[in-house]
Amino acid sequence: MTTSPMLRASCACGQVAVEARGRPIVTVVCYCDDCQAAGRQIEALPGAPPVLNADAGSSLVVFRKDRLSCVRGQDRLVAHKLKPGSATSRYVASCCNSALYLGFDDGKHWVDVFRGRVEGEPPPVEMRICTRFRPAGPELPADVPSVPGFSFGLIARFMAAALAMRLGR
């Protein structure tokens, strides 16, 4: 009998932890303007560890939302919104201002765990998305696909994950 893979992410001080079961939908670096602005806001909190990579991207491991659970310190998770009324909440551990994951209030079926908070070896990045928002700088490496928005392949993965979730698989 094989066990489902488990990914654990925790805050910098260890008081808050989340676990995700199963394989991720995808692992990306997102350069959208919202991720950059929210990353800067969170990084400005007292003692907050980095959220953004050196090139302003957010490294994210994407899971179905039914596969993520808080296993420690849920009372310390605070939802940060870029703007009032935003459908996106970035959940931050109030004990040390570590961003742990993104959730959505508008019915999206996935959550994004910040790759930098993963314990152990995080899954490798598979693609870079929303690169049209990336600040000017050195060329991106050609190690994984880089797309200006969302690729058809990425959308197909999200659709397959939604279908599997609805079918209870």
Task: Calculate the CA 108 to chain-centre distance.
Answer: 13
Q: Are 42 and 48 in contact (CB under 8 A)?
A: yes
**Domain residue spans in the chain?**
6-166
Q: Is the pTM for the entire model greater than 0.95?
A: no
| pLDDT at residue 72, as a whole number | 97
Task: Calculate the CA 69 to chain-centre distance.
Answer: 14
Average pLDDT over every residue of 58-87: 96
Output the CATH code of domain 6-166: 3.90.1590.10
Give residue 3's pLDDT band: very low, low, confident or very high (50, 70, 90): low
Altogether, the residues listed in the chain come to a count of 169
- CA–CA gap between residue 89 and residue 127 (Å, rounded): 23
- CA–CA gap between residue 10 and residue 117 (Å, rounded): 6
Q: Is the pLDDT of residue 103 over 80?
A: yes
3-state helix, strand and coil shares in percent for the chain, rounded to the nearest 5: 20, 30, 45
Q: Is the pLDDT of residue 39 over 80?
A: yes
Q: Is the pLDDT of residue 111 over 60?
A: yes
Neighbour-count burial for 120-132, b at 16+ CB within 10 Å, e otherwise? eebbebbbbbbbe
| pLDDT at residue 1, as a whole number | 44
Q: Is the pLDDT of residue 99 over 60?
A: yes
